[in-house]
Amino acid sequence: MKPVRVALLGCGVVGTEIVRLLREQSDDLAARVGAPVELAGIAVRRPDRVRPGVPEELLTTDAMGLATREDVDLVVEVIGGIEPARSLILGALKTGKSVVSANKALLAEDGETLFAAAREFGADLYYEASVAGAIPLLRPLRESLVGDRIHRVLGIVNGTTNYILDQMDTHGAGFAEALEEAQALGYAEADPTADVEAFDAAAKAAILARLAFHTPVTAADVYREGITEVTAQDVAGAKSMDCVVKLLAICERAGDRGVSVRVYPAMIPRSHPLGSVHGAFNAVFVEAESAGSLMFYGAGAGGAPTASAVLGDIVAVSRNLVSGASGPAETSYAALPVLPMGETVTRYYVQLDVADQAGVLAQVAEEFAKHEVSIQAVRQEGHGEDAQLVIVTHTAPDRALAATVESLRTHSSVREVASVMRVEGDF
C-alpha cells in the first residue's frame, strides 16, 4: 500500500515523543492503519538544536512549504499558540490535507474557521490531544455519545492547578509554596499565568462545550476565575464541610435558555468522584440523558501522554485516508446562546466574622432574603472576637448571590466576609 506521509510542525517535548513513537512502533502502526505511516518532514525554528532520536535530514525551517507540499498527506501541528499555527493549518486544509492538532488555544479562539475550512476542502481535523492529554475524551463526546443528549460536563482539566490545590489540601501548603513546588517538579511553567489564572482551563472548557452541546463556544464566552485568591482559610472551610477545593471546568445545559460555560475554584464533596483526583491528574465527569454518569480519568499533560493522544488521531485519520473515507464533521447546528455568569444558577459557601450579639443571625438572614436567596445550612461558631457564621445557600442566580455578598461586606453586624466560594455537587 502507498504510505501515509506525515508532516510534523513543531518538535519540542511533544513533537519529539511523536517522532519516537512513529519510529519505534512503525510496524504496529502499519498493521493498524493498513499502510505504512512515514515522516515526510519536521518543521522547526532552530534546526541546529540537539534533538536525540530526531532524523536531522527531515528538519526544515520552511513550515508552510512542508505543510502544503504535494507529497504530504497528513499534517500534525504541535507548535501551539495562535500564529503561525492558524495560517499553517489553514494552508494545509486548503490543499486538501487532513490535520491533527493539539492546539487548544487556537481551537478555542477560532475553531469555527478551521472546521469550516476542513468541511469546504474535504479534509479531516482531529484534536484529541487538545483537552486532557492522554485521556480519550473528545472522541467519545463526538462519536460514542453523539446519539445521546448531554446535560453536563464537569471536570478537572488542568494538572498544574490540581497539584497546587491538592498540596494545599493534603499538606497545608500555602499557594505560593505549592506553586513553587509545582515549578520545581516541572508541572508549572516559569510564568504560570495560563494555568493559575485559568486561561488554559477556559480554552478546554470552550472545546468541551462545543462538542457536548453542538454550539459554537469560544474562550471569550467562558466565565473564568483562577486560583490565585484561594486561601488556607478557604481550604480549611472546605474541609469543615467534608469538601475539597478544585478548579472546575463546568459546561452545563440550562434547559432551553442556553448553555453555561465557566471555570472557577469551587468546593466539591470528597465523596464525589472528582473529589479524590490527586496530584497533576485530570478527570472529567459527563452526565448524559441515556448513558447516565461517565467518568474519564488519567494523565492530562506531559510529552508522552499528549503524544499518545496525537498518535491515536494519526491512526484514525490515516485509516480514513487509506479507505477513502472521512471522519465525522464538526457540527454547531444547535447554536444555543451562552448565558452570562450572572444568569447561571449556582450555590455559595460564605464564612462571616460577625459581632457576638443577639439577633445577628436574623439580620444576616434578612440580607439573603432581600436578594431572594434562601439558606440551605447555617452554622454558628465561636464567641466574642472569634464569632463566625458559616452559611451554605440553596441554588440561585449567581447575580443574586454576588449581590448578597456585597451587601454583607458593609453590614453593621459583619466585621469581615472571611471566605466566599462556589459549591458544586450534592451534600
Sole residue written with cell 468541511: 119
Strand order in the sheet with 74-77: 59-60, 37-43, 4-9, 74-77, 98-101, 125-126
Length of the chain: 427
Count of beta carbons in the 10 Å neighbourhood of residue 77: 27
Task: Pull the grid cell for residue 320.
Answer: 480514513
The number of helices, as runs of H, and strands, as runs of E, in the chain is 14, 17
Question: For 110-122, what is the HEC assignment?
Answer: HHHHHHHHHHHCC
Task: Pull the grid cell for residue 96.
Answer: 486538501
In whole angstroms, give the CA distance from residue 216 to residue 404: 33
Residue 204 annotated in active site: yes
Residue 344, amino acid: T
In whole angstroms, give the CA distance from residue 407 to residue 284: 35
In whole angstroms, give the CA distance from residue 379 to residue 350: 11
165 CB burial (10 A radius; 0-12, 13-18, 19+): buried
In the set 204, 239, 246, 370, the catalytic residue is: 204
Please list the active-site residues: 204
